[in-house]
Structure formats: C-alpha cells, structure tokens
Amino acid sequence: MIYLDNSATTKMDPEVLEAMLPYLQEEFGNPSSIHQLGRRARVAVENAREEIAHLIGAHPSEVIFTSGGTEANNAVVKSCCFESDLVDRVVCSSIEHPSVLRPVETAGRLGKDVATIPVDSQGFVRLDAIEQWNDRRTLISVMHANNEIGTIQPVEKIRALCSDALLHTDAVQSLGKIPFRVDHLGIDFATFSAHKLHGPKGIGALYVRRGIPFKAHQEGGSQERNRRAGTEAVALIVGFQVAVRKAITELEHRQRRMAQLRDLLRALLAEKVPGVVFHTPVENALPNILHIGFEDGDRLDGDALLLALDMQGIAVSSGSACSAGTVQVSHVMKALGKSGPAAKAVIRFSLSKDTTEEEIRATVETLAAIVEEMRMAQHV
Ligand SMILES: Cc1ncc(COP(=O)(O)O)c(C=O)c1O
C-alpha cells in the first residue's frame, strides 16, 4: 500500500511503541497514587511534560495534556468564553479546523461577539483584516498550518499586529513539519496532537501561557493542576514525548526530504496529468501537503477518483465531505473563493518521513491512467 494520507493520521513509530509498552504492562500505576508504582507513573508523565515543553519553547507548567487536538481547540474557546469571562469577542480564520469553528459558533449563539478573518485566494489570512481585532478582551484563533491545503499562516505578524489580544494557534499540522516554538511566535495558546507525528492516537496537548487564567473544561479531578480532570494516559503521554522528540530532533532532515518529494510530485503531476490545478501555494506551505483539483473537475467524480486510487493500493483523501451522494465543496475551498470545477474533484496528498520517490512516481502514473480512463469513459 502507498499511504499518502498522513495529514489524517500517521503510522506509529516503532520506537514510540517500544517506549509505551512498559506503561501498558508492568508500569501500570496511576500517577495520582502514593505508592511506588504510582510515583513511577508520575515521574514518567512529568518527564514527558518537561521534555515536550522544552522542545516547544515553553515551561512545563504551561503544558496541559489532552485527548488530542480537538479537545485542546475546544478547551481554548470554551475556557476563554464560557468557563471564565475572559473575552467578549472571538475571532477566527475562515479555514480553521471544525474543532475551532464549531465552539466559536457556539460562543456566538451564547452571546459573544464572533467574527471571521477572511483568507486570500491562496489561503493566507488577510493581515489587513486583522488589526481591527487588537483588543484585550478578544481571542484570535488562527491555525499555524492548514490541514487541507498546507498554507502556513503568518502567526508572528498577527502577534505583532495584535499585541493586546489573546492569540491561539492550532499547530496540529505544523509541529514536527516546520520549526515551531511558542516563545518565537509569542502566542498565548497552542494546540498539538500526537497521531499526526507518528505518535499514538488519543493524546495531545494544549499550551497555555503562564499568567493566563485558564478554567478547566473538564472537572472532577485535580489532575493537570486542576485544568483538565481525568487520570493521565501515561503510556500515550510517553509515546507522545518520544514522537515529539524524534520529530523535532530530525526536523531539518525530514522537512528537506518531504519537500523534495512534494516538489517532485508537483512536477510529475504537471507533466503527466493534463488539466491539473494546484491549490497548495509554492511558497509558505508545509513540506508534506499537496492539494490538487482538475480544470474539468465538474465532470470527474471526486469520490470515484479516491476509490479508484484505493483499489490500486493508494490511500489519499479529499478535503470535501460527501453527504447524501453529493460531493460538497469544502469550507476551505469556499473560503479561497474556489467553487468552480477545480474545487469539485480534489485530492490531498500528504507525505510523511517514510514516503519514497518510488511511491511518488507510482502514484502519479496510476492517477494519470485513472483520470485518462474517466475522461475517455465520458466521451463514449
Ligand atoms: C488542523 C487540525 N486541528 C485539529 C485536529 C484534530 O486533532 P485530533 O485528531 O487529535 O483530535 C486535526 C486533525 O485532523 C487537524 O488537522
């Protein structure tokens, strides 16, 4: 199988699994227990917190473990808007992940002022539309990198323009793909997920800058300094630690390799698949994502394309959700102002550190043949 759906999830690194195993077996203690077994589990959790914090430029007390990116994104909005009355307004980009968009909508329904920051036709937030939100009682949420088209947002510039506002960035797709440090970006909140960087599913983290009052969105236990109740998932946390360590220590090598293969993919697609349209910009994009459409996308069935690739052992995905047999243009494509044919049948290729040149070449050959066949079938 050729797996090019690494933005959905990645294969767990064997070293991650190896580090986790003792905590699923003999070291099964609850970190809140006083006995030796519990104390060893506590040490494992706190070591992980310390190392992850160090690798992202944070202090350990600023890292809260969560069940993943979705929970962390929800927690930021809910803590600022509902659990505490920290903000009057919440503003997010139009291409955020639904785990930001939905809680923001809820905040609007419950009486907060809500606004959307538009993006340009390439998928970059419009900086000229941001300055107006520089207010102490405003939460701004702009993702570091988009999961569909891979654009990297100018978070540092947003911070400079809005130094008074609270700033959150969803770094689920960027951590381990491009340099990321909370201290360099100057943000107040950041979201991470382990399974996007060869770690286990069901674990992630939320960075909350020291001094910001953060209210638990989940209650009933004093874990995570009273900010997230629930017994810590020790094995998952240890796996997350190893995944982040490897992703960041090998970052330069991984980044260069993936970008080379992504560029090769782009060049081969342009050469061998007539009418291909690229939605991922050449500059300021993640090294591992390439999102494409087709000039005649309204005459190609996007789902049929994905299924045909799957039948040939190639796993990719689209950005569009399919409901009741009609393929809907994704909210990201719509936000880019793309509702024409090229937004109808789309493919997101997402590479990993393990992707090979042979896989890229085979994928393009296979896709070229499938597209040609589909076009021929229409002319019969
Ligand atoms: C940008 C972004 N944010 C948040 C999430 C949710 O993360 P998790 O799967 O850990 O809940 C995803 C996962 O697809 C994502 O791509």
Reduce the secondary structure of 80-104 to three states and give it as a string: HHHHCCCCCEEEEECCCCHHHHHHH
pLDDT at 38 over 60: yes
SS3 state at 256: helix
Q: Which two tokens stand for residue 78?
A: 């809910």
pLDDT at 289 over 70: yes
Lookup result for tokens 């009682």: 137
Residues 6+ apart with CB under 8 A from 139: 76, 77, 80, 81, 86, 87, 89, 90, 91, 165, 166, 167, 168
Ligand 1 center–CA 97 separation, angstroms? 7
Query: Any idea of the CA torsion for 73, 57, 164, 225, to the nearest 10 degrees?
Result: 60
Residues 280 and 196 occupy one common structural domain: no
pLDDT at 299 over 70: yes
SS3 state at 358: helix
Lookup result for tokens 């995944």: 243
Structural domain includes residue 300: yes
Residues 220 and 368 occupy one common structural domain: no
Residues 187 and 335 occupy one common structural domain: no
pLDDT at 323: 47
This prediction's pTM: 0.96
Residues 62 and 50 occupy one common structural domain: yes
At position 89, the amino acid (one-letter code) is R
Give Cα 221 to chain centroid, integer Å. Answer: 28
* Average pLDDT rounded to a whole number, residues 328-344: 88
pLDDT at 325 over 80: no
pLDDT at 55: 98
Residues 360 and 237 occupy one common structural domain: no
Letter string b/e over residues 351-377, b meaning 16 or more CB atoms within 10 A of that residue's CB: bbbebeeebbeebbebbbebbeebeee
Ligand 1 center–CA 367 separation, angstroms? 27
Verify whether residue 80 is a known catalytic residue. Answer: no
Residue ending a domain, choose from 249, 267, 295:
249
Query: pLDDT tens digits for 170-222?
Result: 999 999 999 999 999 999 999 999 999 999 999 999 999 999 989 888 899 99
Query: pLDDT tens digits for 71-100?
Result: 999 999 999 998 778 999 999 999 999 999
At position 315, the amino acid (one-letter code) is A
Ligand 1 center–CA 39 separation, angstroms? 32
The pick from 173, 177, 180, 330 for probing ligand 1's pocket by mutation, whose C-beta has the most ligand atoms within 8 angstroms, reads 173
Domain that holds residue 325: 251-379
List the one residue out of 146, 148, 117, 121 whose CA is nearest residue 133. Answer: 117
Local confidence band at 380 (pLDDT 50, 70, 90 cut-offs): low
Q: In this structure, what CATH number is given to the domain that contains residue 111?
A: 3.40.640.10
Residues 40 and 188 occupy one common structural domain: yes
Q: Whose CA is nearest to atom 16 of ligand 1?
A: 147
SS3 state at 339: coil
What's the burial of 273, exposed, middle or buried (CB within 10 Å: 0-12/13-18/19+)?
middle
Q: Whose CA is nearest to atom 8 of ligand 1?
A: 69
Query: pLDDT tens digits for 93-141?
Result: 999 999 999 999 999 999 999 999 999 999 999 999 999 999 999 999 9
Q: What are the residues facing 151 on neighbouring strands?
A: 285
Local confidence band at 326 (pLDDT 50, 70, 90 cut-offs): low
Q: CA-CA distance, 126 to 131, in Å (whole number)? A: 10
SS3 state at 247: helix
Q: Please tell me what DSSP assigns to residue 11.
A: P
Local confidence band at 344 (pLDDT 50, 70, 90 cut-offs): confident
Local confidence band at 324 (pLDDT 50, 70, 90 cut-offs): very low
Q: Please tell me what DSSP assigns to residue 13.
A: P
pLDDT at 13 over 60: yes
Local confidence band at 320 (pLDDT 50, 70, 90 cut-offs): low
Task: Supply the mean pLDDT for the chain.
Answer: 95
- Total domains present in the chain: 2
